[in-house]
Structure 1
């Protein structure tokens, strides 16, 4: 379900490994969307301009959303870098994540199997050490209600860990609240039932 929370990286995490004299530097970062993912790849390339390869993969949305997958072998043999990187990311349960594996070539060829292991393994190790946060999918609702219903709404809101964003007291009360999408239907039903359908509830665009 697209309204359920999911994990995202809390900050950039780096894992380094030397394999047969080649140095592999894996960096993981939170990237919200394809443009941020590409920008992170460019940033890493700028940090290591003399490296032979910068292979990468990203999951630019929620985990499992294959419409927002991307990867590149960046000059390594086809299928030996980008796909193993993406395979680790897509199986991690973490969303909005980009991995860039920078390789400083050490003069010894690893072969296709060795490359798959090096690139996929580096990301696997980096994922073990990355700190994550839970991203909640929230939405805003506008409510029009009588004064007597304000405490009822506030109590119901707190039951779903919602937030009262703003409240204006005029002839009736206008309130804007923020709540996780997965709770909107249940919250709305409680308010409708307790007010006898006298509270107007509208969705606001985020």
Structure 2
């Protein structure tokens, strides 16, 4: 509990965390260029957890601004601190749920959306909670610009197969690439060696990682 309290205090003071109670929380919509101090393209990492991808991508792609989104403040604090330690001014964290994106982003504003190892929700009754179901894909389409990219990385073969089937049926997305074995694919280069904490553990135990990349037509 003490560690969590320390992380919550970090979020209150951190310039790269936007959460309830801070001025930017209510005025950020339409003002991301002012917040970052530039008009570079925006990239979202949804359900970002500890923000490994938000930080890793920001470090490797300085010509874009990266926003990690998660409802868990203690997780966000870890990504925020890592970004600050690296001196990254193109990485920020927004504490909110995916269902509230409309409060923070305009339509057609996002260049890319990354979804990294989301909960696969494998039971039939959980389909409505899968972050690649048609409902959530509809949300992503609203904020992606035309030609914008949606990328899924998962260790769940179930979620990979499910998502691939859904995306192949979606007339608004064009499937660009996919692999059921990312670590033995040239697509791995797109990830700059970034791995989440648990991904490191899974792959050392021999688990495969799957990847899908598609474009909004």
Smaller-chain TM-score bracket:
under 0.3
Higher helix share: 2
Higher strand share: 1
Question: When the two structures are superposed, what TM-score results if normalisation uses the length of structure 2?
Answer: 0.26
Question: When the two structures are superposed, what TM-score results if normalisation uses the length of structure 1?
Answer: 0.27
